[in-house]
Amino acid sequence: MSLKLQKLSDKIVCYSLKVKSGDKVLITSDVVALPLIKYLIQDIQKAGGSANVKLVNSEIDSFVLKYGSEDTIQLLSEHKKFDVDHYDCFIFIHYG
């Protein structure tokens, strides 16, 4: 399995995103994808980029959106804007 994940990581970083030196990459995923995330970080570093990982939980995120106040929603919106303004590439891994 690790060879498949390694190849997938290489395709994402080198061919899909074409990460280059100085690129800042945000990886957003559930904890279940940790093996792939580790390969992505290595490949991003090899390409000269910087990786940051944001671990999420879809169930908790849905709960926050359902019961969050307007202030909470506004804060989440500001976080998303920060991400867009400060990262060059985004990888979102959705696993169900």
Q: What is the mean pLDDT of residues 6-16?
A: 97
Q: What is the pLDDT of residue 58?
A: 85
Question: What pTM was estimated for this model as a whole?
Answer: 0.90
Res 96: pLDDT: 65
Q: For the beta carbon of residue 35, count every other beta carbon within 10 angstroms.
A: 13
- Neighbouring C-beta atoms of residue 5, cutoff 10 Å: 16
Single-letter residue type at 28: T
Q: How confident is the model at residue 95 (pLDDT cuts 50, 70, 90)?
A: confident
Burial (CB count <10 Å: 0-12, 13-18, 19+), residue 42: middle
Separation of first and last alpha carbons in the chain: 18
Q: Are the C-beta atoms of residues 29 and 93 closer than 8 Å to each other? A: yes
